[in-house]
Amino acid sequence: MLRSTVIVLLIALLPSHARAEEPIVTPMPERQPTRCEHIEAQVGNEKRCLKPKDSFRDCPDCPEMVVVPSGKFTMGSPENEKDRLEDEGPLHEVTIASPFAVGKTDVMFAEWDLCIAARACPKVFDNGLAWAWGDQLVILVSWEEANGYAAWLKRMTGKDYRLLSQTEWEYAARAGNQQRWSFGDDEHQVHDYAWFRGNSSDQIHPVAKKKPSAFGLYDMHGNVWQWVEDCYHNSYQGAPSNGSQWVEGCSEDKRVVRGGSWFSTPDRVRSALRYRYSSYSHVDNVGFRVGRTLTP
């Protein structure tokens, strides 16, 4: 007993550096979830943090989509805009409360063919279009069929694909610019951004061969007209101010197309200009691009 007590006392008298010290364990801080500073949205099977102008696909063969930010803009054209048409007014302010996604390009034949293979879309009427394949923009599809393609994408991916409203289309086309075209008022620059009557050789062209808009979208001016969801009204009197589709109070079965085509003159590819066709029309210079609601 005495011997044990002596040993304990001797150990206590040793300098601290000579003693065996117990290791100090510092607890690891809990990992905090990364906070998304931009737009948190479901892409494919995962949640992603997206910035405006980011692009993504919900599946390998899905259209490439571009994130468009929320914001405000003035829709239509002022009365002093050159080549203005009456149905481009009255000017009205619109608030786009939430970001959304827009097809980087119009839907292409290669993408449409996948919908045909799934038996969800009809074959495009041939009409001798030997060039109609791959990255050429799909044409000769009606408004009803364009909606059918968007509905197929929605079923396949579980995401809210649809046609754009005409308000969303103009907001995305302008990309913050209130002038005649998304790039300004210089008509000479139309050559750089659009296929139109002056440079198209009277034919459609593959996607993304001209400059994109400030939002990174191709062919918003020219190449093919683009179906949107809204039916046609001869003015914006009573139009919604929140970017939603305007499908009430239409006097006839006409759906809006936007953007102009390879057959249009420069004034017909302006940001504010709109035209209309029957929802059952199959036209050789009309296609479409899809939109998508971004949900967390």
Distance CA 197, CA 190 (A): 11
Closest CA to 273 of 260, 283, 285: 260
Distance CA 132, CA 137 (A): 8
Which tens digit of pLDDT belongs to each residue from 40-89?
A: 999 999 999 999 999 999 999 999 999 999 999 999 999 999 999 999 99
Distance CA 204, CA 108 (A): 12
The burial of 120, by beta-carbon neighbours within 10 Å (0-12 exposed, 13-18 middle, 19 or more buried), is given as middle
Q: What pLDDT does residue 135 have?
A: 82
- Domains, in order of start, for the chain: 50-293 (3.90.1580.10)
Closest CA to 181 of 276, 105, 77, 100: 77
Q: What pLDDT does residue 22 have?
A: 53
> Which residue ranges in the chain fall short of pLDDT 50?
1-14, 16-19
Q: What pLDDT does residue 191 have?
A: 98
Q: What pLDDT does residue 53 have?
A: 96
Q: What pLDDT does residue 280 have?
A: 94
Q: What pLDDT does residue 67 have?
A: 98
Q: Sort residue 136 into left (φ over 0), alpha (ψ -120 to 50) or beta.
A: beta
Q: What pLDDT does residue 131 have?
A: 55
Give the predicted TM-score (pTM) of the model. 0.87
Q: What pLDDT does residue 215 have?
A: 97
Phi, psi torsion values for 6, nearest 5 degrees:
-65, -45
Q: Which residues on adjacent β-strands are paired with residue 257?
A: 227, 275
In a 3-state reduction of DSSP, which class is residue 144?
helix
